């Protein structure tokens, strides 16, 4: 395998053999000869603080319904204050615990819209946004990202047109999946201003926020921290599930700047949908998982850099702009001649599973999303397999 490997002691120091034992979606929903590089799970050993907390839960056989949300709220608020200089519970701020971000988005949408309403999103964008919206009888209103080949930016004029045309909700992905773009403060402020002027709600999905790369030019700015307008129109959603790789433990939080802004029609017992192990893990992540997270962020940034020469060597036809956040690489494969959905050819001929570009909405045709939240060896193997799809 590659000369410079993921070092021992690294959270990413995992082997293919042990990963194949995992029952998580990424690893169990593929055939035995396929290397999975699709859904957003990382191949990492968990943070020591989280392992310890989960062992405590096991030792206590504490597997009942989710407990009182306060420890999670306090832990999240402490993390947000330290890392982003943002106090989500300042004044009348309110944090609510829920099962996951998907439940939160859909529950908010259900509470504030009627079937046929339009929800704006900025494709290519996280593929599950589409079924969440259409499943409620709502209509996705695409305002594609601009300058994708330079990392991407919001089309503020397009957003204004969409709002003027009656869009009820803006579903922001910040930082952006799959582009790995960290939204600038002024763009967030502009969206807030426009949403307020047109009476729209902004749901800011900030799930990837703890994973901004240490060397990123821009740091993460929480939507609710940008302006009074943002605090009036915004609901932010966070979770430790991406940054600490806890998706299966089921815990997310929603934040509003004033508790009166929770839509009245939202289900009262949302916090019962969280998992109790998610609660143990979230408290440990936000309070004791910072050092581990810093190592992981550094390594992801390295992986994003290592991918460039790797593609140049094995797949020179693929274009890739390094992300500034998270562990997803958005690959422009249009020059490879593999058609609209190159992930299909990579799977069929290379036995490596990427996420299909077209599912990310307009702008996804001819693209595929590679998960680089793994060891250097496994990322290298994924690229080799992709390249082998061209040879056959």
Ligand X SMILES: Cc1ncc(COP(=O)(O)O)c(C=O)c1O
Residues near ligand X (CB under 6 A) are: 40, 100-102, 126, 173, 177, 205, 207, 239, 241, 247, 252
| CB of residue 338 to ligand X, shortest distance in Å | 24
| CB of residue 173 to ligand X, shortest distance in Å | 5
Tell me the C-alpha distance between 243 and 195, whole Å. 29
| CB of residue 368 to ligand X, shortest distance in Å | 16
Tell me the C-alpha distance between 177 and 39, whole Å. 12
| CB of residue 253 to ligand X, shortest distance in Å | 10
Phi, psi of 284 (to 5 degrees): -65, -40
Buried b (16+ CB within 10 A) or exposed e, 94-103: bbbbbbbbbb
Radius of gyration of the chain (CA): 20
Nearer to ligand X, 193 or 250 (CB): 250
Nearer to ligand X, 173 or 293 (CB): 173
Tell me the C-alpha distance between 79 and 85, whole Å. 9
Angle at 80 between CA 373 and CA 205, to 5 degrees: 60
| CB of residue 34 to ligand X, shortest distance in Å | 20
End-to-end CA distance of the chain: 22
**Cβ count within 10 A of residue 186:** 11
Nearer to ligand X, 162 or 177 (CB): 177
| CB of residue 194 to ligand X, shortest distance in Å | 21
| CB of residue 24 to ligand X, shortest distance in Å | 12
| CB of residue 102 to ligand X, shortest distance in Å | 3
| CB of residue 339 to ligand X, shortest distance in Å | 25
Tell me the C-alpha distance between 117 and 141, whole Å. 10
Read off the tokens for 348.
């069929």
Nearer to ligand X, 104 or 350 (CB): 104
**Parallel/antiparallel/unpaired status of strands 367-371 and 118-121:** unpaired
| CB of residue 342 to ligand X, shortest distance in Å | 20
Nearer to ligand X, 41 or 301 (CB): 41
Nearer to ligand X, 126 or 280 (CB): 126
Phi, psi of 119 (to 5 degrees): -120, 125
Nearer to ligand X, 173 or 345 (CB): 173
Nearer to ligand X, 112 or 207 (CB): 207
Nearer to ligand X, 243 or 247 (CB): 247
| Sign of the dihedral defined by the CA atoms of residues 266, 271, 273, 278, in that order | positive
Tell me the C-alpha distance between 166 and 168, whole Å. 6
Nearer to ligand X, 205 or 299 (CB): 205
Closest CA to 174 of 192, 193, 162, 194: 192
């Amino acid at each position: 395998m590659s000369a410079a490997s993921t070092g021992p002691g690294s959270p990413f120091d995992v082997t293919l053999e042990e990963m194949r034992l995992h029952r998580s979606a990424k690893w169990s929903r593929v055939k035995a000869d396929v290397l999975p590089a699709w859904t957003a799970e990382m191949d990492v050993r968990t943070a020591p603080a989280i392992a310890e907390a989960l062992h405590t839960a096991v030792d206590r056989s504490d597997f009942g319904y989710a407990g009182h949300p306060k420890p999670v709220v306090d832990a999240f608020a402490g993390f947000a204050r330290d890392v982003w200089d943002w106090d989500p519970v300042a004044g009348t701020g309110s944090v609510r615990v829920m099962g996951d971000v998907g439940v939160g988005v859909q529950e908010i949408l259900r509470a504030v819209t009627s079937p046929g309403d339009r929800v704006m999103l900025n494709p290519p964008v996280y593929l599950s946004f589409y079924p969440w919206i259409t499943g409620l009888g709502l209509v996705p209103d695409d305002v594609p990202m601009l300058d994708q080949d330079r990392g991407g930016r919001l089309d503020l004029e397009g957003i204004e047109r969409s709002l003027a045309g009656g869009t009820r909700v803006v579903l922001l992905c910040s930082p952006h999946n799959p582009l790995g773009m960290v939204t600038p403060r002024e763009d967030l402020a502009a969206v807030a201003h426009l949403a307020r002027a047109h009476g729209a709600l902004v749901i800011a999905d900030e799930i990837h926020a703890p994973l901004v790369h240490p060397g990123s030019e821009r740091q993460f700015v929480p939507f609710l921290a940008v302006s009074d307008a943002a605090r009036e129109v915004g609901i932010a959603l966070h979770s430790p599930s991406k940054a600490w790789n806890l998706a299966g433990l089921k815990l997310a939080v929603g934040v509003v700047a004033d508790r009166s802004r929770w839509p009245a029609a939202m289900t009262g017992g949302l916090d019962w949908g969280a998992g109790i192990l998610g609660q143990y893990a979230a408290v440990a992540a936000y309070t004791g998982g910072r050092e581990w997270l810093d190592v992981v962020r550094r390594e992801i940034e390295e992986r994003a850099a290592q991918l460039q020469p790797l593609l140049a060597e094995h797949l020179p036809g693929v274009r890739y702009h390094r992300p500034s956040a998270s562990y997803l690489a958005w690959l422009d494969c249009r020059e490879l001649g593999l058609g609209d959905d190159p992930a299909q050819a990579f799977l069929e001929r290379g036995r490596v599973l990427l996420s299909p570009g077209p599912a990310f909405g307009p702008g996804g045709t001819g693209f595929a999303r590679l998960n680089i939240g793994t060891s250097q060896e496994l990322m290298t193997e994924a690229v080799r397999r992709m390249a082998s799809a061209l040879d056959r």
